[in-house]
Amino acid sequence: MKIQTGARRNPRTRNQTEEKRRTGHRSPHRAAGPHLHHSDRTHTLLTSAANKAGAAIGSVPELVQAYKLIADGNKLPDQRTRALAESEEAVVRGRLDRLRQATADKYIRAGQRASNISESIMAVLRSASTKKQTIRFEDPESMRVTYEAVSQFVQRGAPVNLVLPIGGGKAANPLKTGESYLPDLSEHTSAIMLAAIADAIREIYTPGAHVFMVPDAGLHSDDLGMSATEHALHLRRFAQDLVELGVDRQVSMVDTLALLPDQWADEVTVRSAATRGQVAVDPIMADSVNAQVRSLQYSLNLRIMGWSYEDVVQAMMALAVPTTPDLRTAAKERALTILQRTREVAARYVGTNHALRSLDLPSHVMAALTGDPSYVRLTVHAKPGEPRPSLFPSSSVARPGLLPMHGVGVWDWREDKVRAGATFHLEARMRGHVAVQDKYGRVLFYEPSA
């Protein structure tokens, strides 16, 4: 599918008060010291809204419905598919382009109300963010690191590097993503939403901004079992998609594995061992890791197990509700296999995430790519001081908070606007959604049945 959307520029606001904004205004935010790291806290909050959204596959009504069908000796509904017509490609292109323009205009309006460039950029980030109360945008102390990072770019007259660790593949649980692992319309919509941030900043600040998506899927091959092949193909296809979407000058997907620092392996090993040691003596940390296990068990690579879709449904039911009556022995055994494996790799998963912070991986990546280690950190795990950009427009068809890597793209054509996001494959299948494929056979999105 070839998707071309034109980059937009709105001359009515660019540079209109730039020189004035550079002088004479004192920010209410305090100056910050070096980039702060949170990985060395005694007790790190390991779970998040994003984790919980991905783990919700264990509680969706469709899981119970599918399990009952199988338990009663019935078949699950077949997955309906169809090809995307050329005329529909034009509709996709047009609606994504309009979404980008409308979103950027909204962010620009927010930026225009601020009184200097740094504040304007912060206003754009605030407008683009969800979970504003969690992020504490109104608290200068919470936001000082982000504000200072923005201000330093402005003082140097340099483009603002926005770094968002996210994605790089699809979680290999068939109930979440089916057999798909290439980027789909959920990733495309996210890229459009991120490009709108860069568009808005350029209207306010001439050097502009670029969003670097730093994928972490490849970092979890040795714990969650993310496939290196799937990860590599996902990155290659997404790079092509960004060009076809017309946003490659605003958004990039980085090859994180190619840019890891030399000390990465040692740091992960040390952090993983420290996590295991702390769990052994610290009940609070043990509880936190156990909570992480309850989330990660739904993200383990199950494609390599050779189980049928029906096998996975039953195993997930046994995992989510072990007290379910009449569970088959095989289902219980599969659930136990998943749980034991997740417990074994949890410390490694936590250690990897700690290493990302302790080595300041985004800084290393930025230095390698741009020669400038500075960046403004964005996040998909909303926390104080770090903007959490919205990846989808508000929509009733999408599962709230679900990231593209934990679901499949869903698109509702019944209204002349973008109603798109991500949902679980099991939900799409049980609800009779149609899988819409491009000319190469890639499933681009699922459309609700009329």
Per-residue pLDDT of the chain in tens (450 residues, 90 and over written 9): 433 333 333 333 333 333 333 333 333 333 332 232 333 333 445 656 667 898 999 999 999 999 999 999 999 999 999 999 999 999 999 999 999 999 999 999 999 999 899 999 999 999 999 999 999 999 999 999 999 999 999 999 999 999 999 999 999 999 999 999 999 999 999 999 999 999 999 999 999 999 999 999 999 999 999 999 999 999 999 999 999 999 999 999 999 999 999 999 999 999 999 999 999 999 999 999 999 999 999 999 999 999 999 999 999 999 999 999 999 999 999 999 999 999 999 999 999 999 999 999 999 999 999 999 999 999 998 899 999 999 999 888 889 899 999 999 999 987 777 889 999 999 999 999 999 999 889 999 999 986
Whether 27 is covered by a domain: the verdict is: no
pLDDT of residue 50: 64
Q: Are 32 and 148 in contact (CB under 8 A)?
A: yes
Binning the chain into helix, strand and coil, the percentages to the nearest 5 are: 50, 10, 40
Tokens encoding 367: 């230095």
Domain count, the chain: 1
pLDDT of residue 51: 75
Domain residues for 302?
Answer: 42-447
Global pTM value = 0.88
- Strands of 160-165's sheet in order across: 251-253, 209-214, 160-165, 376-377
- Residue whose tokens read 């989808």: 392
- Residue whose tokens read 């069908």: 69
pLDDT of residue 429: 97
Query: Residue 146 half-sphere exposure, CB side, CA atoms within 13 Å?
Result: 27
| Distance between CA atoms of residues 230 and 358, nearest Å | 27
- Nearest alpha carbon to residue 234 among 307, 166, 296: 166
- In angstroms, the first-to-last Cα distance of the chain is 24
Alpha helix locations (H) across 205-251?
228-245
Phi-psi region of 246 (alpha: psi -120 to 50; beta: other; left: phi over 0): left
Whether 224 is covered by a domain: the verdict is: yes
Sign of the CA dihedral running 357, 286, 349, 318: negative
Backbone φ, ψ for residue 71 (5° rounding): -60, -30
Tokens encoding 211: 């969003």
pLDDT of residue 422: 96
* CA dist 45 → 289, 290, 359, 377, 405 (Å): 9, 12, 19, 18, 21
Whether 23 is covered by a domain: the verdict is: no
Whether 76 is covered by a domain: the verdict is: yes
Residue 36 is given by DSSP the state P
pLDDT of residue 440: 85
Whether 15 is covered by a domain: the verdict is: no
pLDDT of residue 105: 98
- Strands of 434-437's sheet in order across: 80-83, 434-437, 443-447, 408-411, 420-423
Phi-psi region of 2 (alpha: psi -120 to 50; beta: other; left: phi over 0): beta
